[in-house]
Amino acid sequence: MKGGILNPDNGFEAAVKNFLKDVMEKADIDALLLPFKNAVGDSFEWRLVTADKLAEASVVPPVIAVNGARALSSITRSGKSAMKIAALMRPCEARAAIELSKLNQCDLEPVVLISMDCPGAMPLQDYIADPEKVEKEFEHAAREWNNELIRPICRMCDIFTCTESTWCDADIHVALPETENNAVAFISNTDKGREVLEKVGIGREEELGDWQKKMNARIEERKAARKKAREELKQHVTGLNSLSDTFGSCINCQVCRSVCPVCYCRQCLFNSVKVHYAPDDYLLQAESKGTMKFTPDTLLFQTGRMTHMSVSCVGCGACEDCCPMDIKVAQIFSIAADETQKLFDYIPGKRDAPPPLRVYNEQELKEYET
């Protein structure tokens, strides 16, 4: 694997900020989309900024308060962008942005999408309860691979980097080779990315073999963790009874859907009048067993949502971060997504692969025909 290496004086964050400054000056970029700590200091937010605001940015925030793909989509969805934007986000967020672009909810044409090696993120609600404490924990956790305070969904994530086996289709990926002098490497994945690196004067020919080897080993670790998680989680959702139990505490607030980057509908079908029926229908339904959970829409919502977005699920964990009833939504959905994506040989976040629903292949899924 090859890329360009920068040897900065003051660490990863400074190196990336310098790079972004250069990108704005030399590569015709008009604005940056980055995370910032908010004015009150109690959370993080996305801001579209000009170069002079760069210094205040927080390159690797401890939490993903709002998924970067949602932020990017809100800017580029409506009306053509006259400005070129460079957006820096975690690999899962970048993948979600690419998925949204396939669904015409995000225009990536004027965007230079930059991802970076991700150490994981802390649970959002823990952070909200005590921002200072969790920030300190993150500082430590970010330096120690697979720290146990990182969110469970992160500890089973195998798309946290960009090697030849786990590419990331962002235009540029920023890697932390973790050499002695804290070098930072830039890998370009697209022509656009290559052009930017050229203009900024970062070469692309340095060998990153050691880094790739280390990352591949970590990916294998995580793949094993996924396998283990699958065995465990499977029990919680196999059969209607388990499914009812696991999602029994769900109150149908649908926050999982509204913060999910790839759930893009204005009005969710499962929250609309289309799933509301007449009172006598409900009474009749209740009579069949003598009692009925009212409303009976919860499992319909969960399984229905999964049917709709599973092939695009990138395992970002926004759902689990926000669930008021502490259900392991992200872990369950992410493992289920592995299965649905395998069915169609589909990898969310891959640029040229159209969503499976759009491609009719007469010869597929024959194993499910009776």
- Binders of other proteins among residues 176 to 195 (CB under 8 A) are none
Q: Are 162 and 115 in contact (CB under 8 A)?
A: yes
Of 17-25, 184-192, 320-328, 329-337: span binding other proteins (CB under 8 A): 320-328
Residues 142-161 that bind other proteins (CB under 8 A): none
Distance CA 273, CA 297 (A): 12
Tell which residue, 253, 248, 260, has the closest CA to residue 333. 260
Among 209, 269, 339, 342, binds other proteins (CB under 8 A): 269
What are the tokens at 121?
């993120």
- Write each residue from 219 to 248 as x if it is in contact with other proteins (CB under 8 A), else as -, in one continuous string: -----------------------------x
Least Cβ distance, residue 32 to other proteins (angstroms): 10
Burial (CB count within 10 angstroms: exposed 0-12, middle 13-18, buried 19+), residue 14: middle
Of 175-183, 198-206, 234-242, 261-269: span binding other proteins (CB under 8 A): 261-269
- DSSP label at 179? -
Distance CA 50, CA 33 (A): 9
- Does 368 contact other proteins by CB under 8 A? no
Q: Write the DSSP assignment of 93-157 as a string of letters.
A: HHHHHHHHHHTTS---TTEEEEEE-------HHHHHH-HHHHHHHHHHHHHSTT-TTS-HHHHT-
- Write each residue from 68 to 107 as x if it is in contact with other proteins (CB under 8 A), else as -, in one continuous string: --xx--xxxxxxxxxx-------------------xxx--
- Does 163 contact other proteins by CB under 8 A? no
- Does 299 contact other proteins by CB under 8 A? no
- DSSP label at 275? G
Among 133, 143, 232, 277, binds other proteins (CB under 8 A): 277
Among 7, 25, 26, 42, binds other proteins (CB under 8 A): 42
**In the complex with other proteins, which residue's Cβ is closer, 194 or 346?**
346
Give the E-state strand segments of 239-288 in sequence order.
none
- Does 341 contact other proteins by CB under 8 A? no
**In the complex with other proteins, which residue's Cβ is closer, 8 or 355?**
355
Burial (CB count within 10 angstroms: exposed 0-12, middle 13-18, buried 19+), residue 207: exposed
Least Cβ distance, residue 146 to other proteins (angstroms): 25
Q: Are 134 and 62 in contact (CB under 8 A)?
A: yes
Among 144, 165, 213, 253, binds other proteins (CB under 8 A): 253
Among 55, 191, 241, 290, binds other proteins (CB under 8 A): 290
Kindly report whether the peptide bond that precedes residue 298 is cis, defined as omega within 30 degrees of 0: no
- Does 216 contact other proteins by CB under 8 A? no
Helix or strand run (H / E) with residue 15: helix 11-26
Residues 346-365 that bind other proteins (CB under 8 A): 354-355, 357-358, 360
According to DSSP, the β-strands at 85-89 and 31-37 are parallel
Of 14-22, 193-201, 288-296, 333-341: span binding other proteins (CB under 8 A): 288-296
Q: How many residues bind other proteins (CB under 8 A)?
A: 87
- Does 129 contact other proteins by CB under 8 A? yes
Least Cβ distance, residue 193 to other proteins (angstroms): 22
- Does 55 contact other proteins by CB under 8 A? no
- Does 366 contact other proteins by CB under 8 A? no
Region of 45 please: left (phi>0), alpha (psi -120 to 50) or beta. beta
Q: Find the largest Cα–Cα distance for the chain.
A: 73
- Does 343 contact other proteins by CB under 8 A? no
